[in-house]
Amino acid sequence: MNRIKEVLEERGISQTWLAKQLGKSFCMVNGYACNRTQPPLDVLYKIAEILEISPKELLQEPKKQKK
Protein backbone atom coordinates (compact mmCIF):
# COMPACT_ATOMS: atom_id res chain seq x y z
CA MET A 1 0.00 0.00 0.00
CA ASN A 2 1.17 3.52 -0.73
CA ARG A 3 0.08 7.02 0.24
CA ILE A 4 0.37 8.66 -3.17
CA LYS A 5 -3.30 9.69 -3.31
CA GLU A 6 -3.23 11.00 0.26
CA VAL A 7 -0.10 13.10 -0.38
CA LEU A 8 -1.53 14.49 -3.63
CA GLU A 9 -4.75 15.49 -1.84
CA GLU A 10 -2.83 17.06 1.08
CA ARG A 11 -0.87 19.20 -1.37
CA GLY A 12 -3.72 20.00 -3.76
CA ILE A 13 -1.95 18.31 -6.67
CA SER A 14 -3.89 16.47 -9.35
CA GLN A 15 -3.13 12.99 -10.61
CA THR A 16 -3.16 14.46 -14.13
CA TRP A 17 -0.33 16.85 -13.21
CA LEU A 18 1.70 14.03 -11.67
CA ALA A 19 1.13 11.87 -14.75
CA LYS A 20 2.51 14.65 -16.97
CA GLN A 21 5.56 15.08 -14.72
CA LEU A 22 6.24 11.34 -14.84
CA GLY A 23 5.57 10.98 -18.56
CA LYS A 24 2.96 8.32 -17.76
CA SER A 25 -0.72 8.03 -18.58
CA PHE A 26 -3.37 9.24 -16.18
CA CYS A 27 -4.70 5.66 -15.96
CA MET A 28 -1.30 4.38 -14.82
CA VAL A 29 -0.93 7.08 -12.15
CA ASN A 30 -4.53 6.56 -11.04
CA GLY A 31 -3.75 2.86 -10.59
CA TYR A 32 -0.80 3.78 -8.37
CA ALA A 33 -2.85 6.33 -6.40
CA CYS A 34 -5.75 3.92 -5.84
CA ASN A 35 -3.40 1.06 -4.93
CA ARG A 36 -4.62 -1.14 -7.77
CA THR A 37 -0.98 -1.41 -8.91
CA GLN A 38 2.23 -0.57 -7.12
CA PRO A 39 4.79 1.55 -8.96
CA PRO A 40 8.19 0.00 -9.62
CA LEU A 41 10.86 1.29 -7.21
CA ASP A 42 12.40 3.63 -9.79
CA VAL A 43 8.99 5.22 -10.42
CA LEU A 44 8.27 5.43 -6.69
CA TYR A 45 11.57 7.29 -6.19
CA LYS A 46 10.71 9.62 -9.10
CA ILE A 47 7.28 10.34 -7.58
CA ALA A 48 8.94 11.09 -4.25
CA GLU A 49 11.40 13.43 -5.96
CA ILE A 50 8.62 15.28 -7.80
CA LEU A 51 6.55 15.61 -4.62
CA GLU A 52 9.64 16.55 -2.58
CA ILE A 53 8.96 13.82 -0.03
CA SER A 54 10.90 10.83 1.24
CA PRO A 55 10.09 7.58 -0.57
CA LYS A 56 9.64 6.05 2.88
CA GLU A 57 6.84 8.53 3.62
CA LEU A 58 5.00 7.37 0.50
CA LEU A 59 4.98 3.83 1.87
CA GLN A 60 3.88 4.50 5.43
CA GLU A 61 0.41 3.55 6.56
CA PRO A 62 -2.22 6.22 5.96
CA LYS A 63 -2.79 8.62 8.83
CA LYS A 64 -5.74 7.57 10.93
CA GLN A 65 -8.68 9.93 11.15
CA LYS A 66 -9.34 11.38 14.59
CA LYS A 67 -12.77 10.51 15.94
- Residue 13 resides in a domain: yes
Local mean pLDDT, 10-residue blocks, the chain (67 residues): 95 98 98 96 97 92 59
| Number of domains the chain is built from | 1
7-29 burial, b at 16+ Cβ within 10 Å, e below that, comes to bbeeeeeebeebbeebebeeeeb
| CA distances for 41 relative to 34, 46, 53, angstroms | 17, 9, 15
Report d(CA 58, CA 39) in Å as an integer: 11
What pLDDT, on the 0 to 100 scale, is given for residue 60? Answer: 77
For residue 25, the model assigns a pLDDT of 98
Asked whether residue 67 is assigned to any structural domain, the reply reads no
Residue 29: inside a domain: yes
63 in a structural domain: no
CATH number for the domain harbouring residue 34 = 1.10.260.40
For residue 1, the model assigns a pLDDT of 87
Predicted pLDDT at 66: 54
**Residue 47's domain spans which residues?**
4-53
Please tell me the predicted confidence (pLDDT) of residue 57.
92
